[in-house]
């Protein structure tokens, strides 16, 4: 049956991508809207994806030397005034608590939009000597940013994330940490989420408020827009001076530490949806799929079918495969539609004839193809297939991205490129005025600096000598 006819409850992905996205996140029960405007309730299926992401990333962070901690949700407003650029950058988004316990607070408290200020305060208390360095901590928590325009996962007033915060004795060590974590993210996105990313330094206009340098990871979505899916910041001594993070060095002099921060969020789930989805709904990479294999009994009323399905489920579970038998009183066609929409990587169909032939029918969600497989060593066959699907999704996503990157040598060229749903590489002189012109004229922003410009090349916007080649795109 044609997928477009089959999934009538989802908007057409080609005609209305924004509505398709909203339909998918709601119909697949990833989220629902919270009672407060701009908030979301992450439902069990969506939260299971987050748990799988969290488990994988957490292991990578610990392997890179990080330890987990937890810091308070409420931050004294006075902390934000200590780093001028930081407070200016976050002021419009900060939610503030002014009353508690029926009384007005002596000092208003910010609900954390990010934790540099409170963590910096504690680091100043804990760090005394060079022997205490480096400090490398991460926390998994929620944050709040009072967004005007919201969309589930992509931009909500409250969301879940991780934020790493480190202190080092030297600039070189801190910059090394910044780039190391950028690469940890890149490997995770490609190996686990099957999403290729461009990495590079952000322009001063796009960098994190209070940072010396911000490095971003930009992923292309199916509609040609970019999603900033993670960032790693070199903060220099800006926060250590603001919060008095000092240490006694080997030469017996007091010195300020060099700090970094790095973070990703539930926005990644939005990226998975928009990088891999299709007209039928979600297409989940096996490594983060809550259910990797669903088993659908065919003619379940006949003797032995449900029992065989349960037997196969037990075999898969024993090999660490997240498998589930769907025994609900619904037609097989309805179940097929439901699980395809939810993006389950593999579906196994088993009926009386299959049992007679000692085989099953296997359906791949990524390419919508069916094949038969022997029941003997089924778990081994499925494991290999899941690995194949994981690899295939990355190859497909890379091909889509790389086929939609073009170059431009004029403002009109940048406009034409983004209008045609491309990322555009263009030379840039480095001035804010030219960057603002691209935003005004093409509604595109500088996502990352791709490389240094070659001698003799000129800015695509003003014609002056170019400093960098930048990737411009429309972005979420």
Residue 67: per-residue pLDDT: 98
Q: Where in the chain is the domain with CATH 3.30.930.10?
A: 3-276
CA distances, 90 to each of 22, 95, 126, 210, 230 (Å):
28, 10, 26, 10, 18
With CA atoms as reference, report the closest residue to 27 among 255, 338, 317: 338
- Res. 7: pLDDT tops 80: no
CATH number given to 3-276: 3.30.930.10
Spatial CB neighbours of 196, under 8 Å, sequence gap ≥ 6: 189, 190, 219, 220, 394, 397, 398, 401
Ordered DSSP codes for 312-341: HHHHHHHTT--EEE--SSS-HHHHHHHHHH
Span 266-289, pLDDT tens digits: 999 999 999 999 999 999 999 999
Span 76-98, pLDDT tens digits: 999 988 877 776 777 788 999 99
Q: CA 435 to CA 203: how far, in whole Å?
A: 9
Query: Can you tell me whether residue 225 is helix, strand or coil?
Result: coil
- Tokens in use for 188? 């995770």
Q: CA 102 to CA 214: how far, in whole Å?
A: 42
- Number of other residues whose CB lies within 10 A of the CB of residue 106: 6
CATH number given to 405-473: 3.30.110.30
If you average pLDDT over every residue of the chain, what do you get? 95
Span 293-349, pLDDT tens digits: 999 999 888 889 999 999 999 999 999 999 999 999 999 999 999 999 999 999 999
Residue 245: per-residue pLDDT: 98
Ordered DSSP codes for 270-317: HHHHHHH-BTTB----TTT-S-SEEEEESSTTSTTHHHHHHHHHHHHH
> Angle CA(376)–CA(377)–CA(379) in degrees, nearest 5?
130
Q: Where in the chain is the domain with CATH 3.40.50.800?
A: 293-383
Q: Please, which pLDDT band fits residue 443 given cuts at 50, 70 and 90?
A: very high
Residue 418 DSSP label: H
- Domain 293-383: CATH architecture, name and number where available: 3-Layer(aba) Sandwich (3.40)
End-to-end CA distance of the chain: 34
Which backbone phi and psi does 289 adopt, to 5 degrees? -70, 130
Q: CA 353 to CA 359: how far, in whole Å?
A: 9
> Angle CA(185)–CA(188)–CA(194) in degrees, nearest 5?
125
Q: Where in the chain is the domain with CATH 3.30.110.30?
A: 405-473
- Is the CB of residue 153 less than 8 Å from the CB of residue 272? no
* Whole-model pTM over 0.85: yes
């Amino acid at each position: 049956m044609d997928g477009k006819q089959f999934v009538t409850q989802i908007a057409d992905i080609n005609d209305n991508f924004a509505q398709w996205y909203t339909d998918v996140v709601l119909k697949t029960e990833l989220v629902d809207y919270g009672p407060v405007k701009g908030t979301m309730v992450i439902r069990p299926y969506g939260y299971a994806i987050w748990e799988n992401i969290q488990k994988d990333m957490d292991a990578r962070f610990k392997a890179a030397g990080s330890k987990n901690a937890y810091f308070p949700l409420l931050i004294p407003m006075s902390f934000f005034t200590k780093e001028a650029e930081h407070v200016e950058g976050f002021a419009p988004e900060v939610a503030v608590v002014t009353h508690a316990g029926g009384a007005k607070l002596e000092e208003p408290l910010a609900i954390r939009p990010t934790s540099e200020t409170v963590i910096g305060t504690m680091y100043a208390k804990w760090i005394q000597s060079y022997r205490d360095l480096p400090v490398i901590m991460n926390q998994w928590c929620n944050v709040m940013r009072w967004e005007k325009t919201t969309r589930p996962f992509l931009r909500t007033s409250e969301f879940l994330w991780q934020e790493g915060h480190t202190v080092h004795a030297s600039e070189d060590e801190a910059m090394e940490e910044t780039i190391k974590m950028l690469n940890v993210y890149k490997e995770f996105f490609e190996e686990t989420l099957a999403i290729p990313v461009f990495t590079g330094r952000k322009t001063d206009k796009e960098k994190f408020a209070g940072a010396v340098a911000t490095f971003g990871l930009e992923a292309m979505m199916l509609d040609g827009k970019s999603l900033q899916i993670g960032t790693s910041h070199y903060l220099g001594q800006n926060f250590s001076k603001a919060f008095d993070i000092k240490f006694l060095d080997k030469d017996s002099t007091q010195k300020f530490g060099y700090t970094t921060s790095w973070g990703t969020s539930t926005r990644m789930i939005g990226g998975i949806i928009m990088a891999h989805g299709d007209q039928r709904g979600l297409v989940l990479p096996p490594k983060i799929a809550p259910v990797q294999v669903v088993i659908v009994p065919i003619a379940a009323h006949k003797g032995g079918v449900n029992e065989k399905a349960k037997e196969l489920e037990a075999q898969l579970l024993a090999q660490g495969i997240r498998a589930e038998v769907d025994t609900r009183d619904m037609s097989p066609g309805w179940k097929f539609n439901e699980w395809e929409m939810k993006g389950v990587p593999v579906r196994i169909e088993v009926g009386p004839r299959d049992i007679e032939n000692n085989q099953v029918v296997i359906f791949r969600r990524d390419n919508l193809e069916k094949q038969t497989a022997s029941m003997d060593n089924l778990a081994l066959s499925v494991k290999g297939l899941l690995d194949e699907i994981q690899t295939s999704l990355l190859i497909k996503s890379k091909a889509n991205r790389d086929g939609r990157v073009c170059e431009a040598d004029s403002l009109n060229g940048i406009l034409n490129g983004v209008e045609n749903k491309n990322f555009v590489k263009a030379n840039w002189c480095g001035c804010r005025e030219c960057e603002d012109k691209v935003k005004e004229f093409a509604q595109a922003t500088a996502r990352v600096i791709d490389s240094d410009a070659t001698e003799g090349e000129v800015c695509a916007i003003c014609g002056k000598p170019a400093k960098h080649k930048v990737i411009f795109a429309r972005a979420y």
